[in-house]
Amino acid sequence: MNRHLLIPDLASKIEIAQECELKLAGIYADIAKNMTDPTLQSLIYSLSGDAYGHFRTLAIIQTLTESRDKRHTSPTEMQPYPTAHLSHPSMRKSSFRVRTMTAGNSGKGGESNGNELSSMQ
C-alpha cells in the first residue's frame, strides 16, 4: 500500500475524505442534539461515531502510507522498533529540555520551535 503505487492524487483524496468525515461527525452530533426522541437521537449520534471511526481508519491509512514512503526514500531514517543502545543515555523525563518563548530554534528538532499553535491567533 505504498503511495507511489497508487493513483497520484489518491493521498489528497484521502485527506479530503478525512475532512469530510470529521465534519460529518460534528454535523451528526448537532442533528442528534436537536432530536427529542431518545431512540432516534441514539441512532443519529451513532452515525457520528461511525464517521469518527472512518476518520480514524483514514488517518491510519495516511500514516501507514507516509511511513512506508519514508522507509522507501530513506531506509536509515525510520527505525520503528528502536533497540537500547549502550552509548546513548536512557531517555528520561528529566532529560527533556525546557524551551522558552525567546529560545527560538534552540529546542529539540532545530528547524522549528515545535509550537505551531504559537503562530496562530
Partner 1 sequence: MGMNCPQCNNYRAQLEASIQDEICDAGFYAGIADEAPTDILRLITTSITGDEYGHARLQASLLGVCPPPVSCPPSCPAATGNFTADVRMAVSGELSAITRYAELAGCAPTLQVRYLLTSILGDEYTHARIWSAMLVAGSLCSNT
Q: Which is nearer to partner 1, 90 or 119 (CB)?
A: 119
| Closest to 26 measured CA to CA, from 5, 3, 55, 57 | 55
Q: Please give, one letter per residue, the 3-state secondary structure of 7-30.
A: CCCHHHHHHHHHHHHHHHHHHHHH
Pick from 81, 86, 101, 111: which binds partner 1 (CB under 8 A)? 101
Distance CA 54, CA 11 (A): 15
**Which residue, 94 or 119, is less far from partner 1 as judged by CB?**
119
By CB under 8 A, the residues from 13 to 72 that bind partner 1 are 19, 22-23, 25-27, 29-30, 32-33, 38, 41-42, 45, 48-49, 52, 55-56, 59
- What number of CA atoms fall less than 13 Å from residue 65's CA on the CB side? 18
- Round to whole Å and give the CA distance between 35 and 33: 6
- Between residues 89 and 116, which has the closer beta carbon with respect to partner 1? 116
Q: Provide the binding-site residues for partner 1, judged by CB under 8 A.
A: 19, 22-23, 25-27, 29-30, 32-33, 38, 41-42, 45, 48-49, 52, 55-56, 59, 99, 101, 115-121
